[in-house]
Amino acid sequence: MTFHRRAILKWGGAATLASVAGALRPRTAAAQGWNQAAFSGKSLDEIVKALGGAGYTPTKAVSWGATPDIAENGAAVQVSIASALPRTQAIAVVIEKNPGPLAAHFEVPPGTDAAIVTRFKMAQTSSVHAVVKADGKYFVSTREIRVTFGGCG
């Protein structure tokens, strides 16, 4: 017997879940909070520091999956990042030439693959950094993504 074990969630009209949402609120409120300093950082160095890293080293242990070299629509560039570094704890995406370079930060608990796919806005052609925290240390892999039509305007 084969299963495709896929859980697909679609927002927009799930009124039956109202009671669940109510029950979850206390835990949501207890989340660690948004890292204002990291999201205000203007450079990769500033951002790594704000995330708690003393520095970082380049790595080849990050794969970029189907991430495009050239994005026709900067409003939705699908970025795929997977870390092969042992004990990966977090993955951040830094789009160097965006007004706010830190785009997203993901914490990956044990049991979850160190791999994420998300779509981002890109103002212009830019270096995109995957910042990986593994075993307490920070590593960076960089890709250049050309944007032919910017998406932050």
Partner 1 sequence: MQGDKVVVRVLMTHEMESGQRKDADGKVIPAYFIREVSARHNGRPVLAAQWGPAVSKNPFLQFTFAGGKPGDRIQVSWVDSKGDTRTDETTIS
Residue 22, CA distances (Å) to 28, 33, 56, 84, 135 in order: 10, 20, 41, 38, 36
98 binds partner 1 (CB under 8 A): yes
113 binds partner 1 (CB under 8 A): yes
60 binds partner 1 (CB under 8 A): no
Return the residue of 64, 106, 125, 142 that touches partner 1, per CB under 8 A. Answer: 106
Q: Closest separation between CB of residue 93 and partner 1, Å? A: 8
Nearest 5°: phi and psi at 76? -155, 90
Amino acid at the residue 76: A
Per-residue contact flags (x/-) with partner 1 for residues 23 to 42, judged by CB under 8 A: -xx--x--xxxxx--xx---
Phi-psi region of 30 (alpha: psi -120 to 50; beta: other; left: phi over 0): alpha
Return the residue of 96, 115, 124, 125 that touches partner 1, per CB under 8 A. Answer: 115
Nearest 5°: phi and psi at 51? -80, -15
Nearest 5°: phi and psi at 145? -120, 120
Return the residue of 84, 100, 137, 143 that touches partner 1, per CB under 8 A. Answer: 100
Residues that bind partner 1 (CB under 8 A): 2-12, 14, 17, 20-21, 24-25, 28, 31-35, 38-39, 75-78, 95, 98-100, 102-109, 111-113, 115-123, 151-153
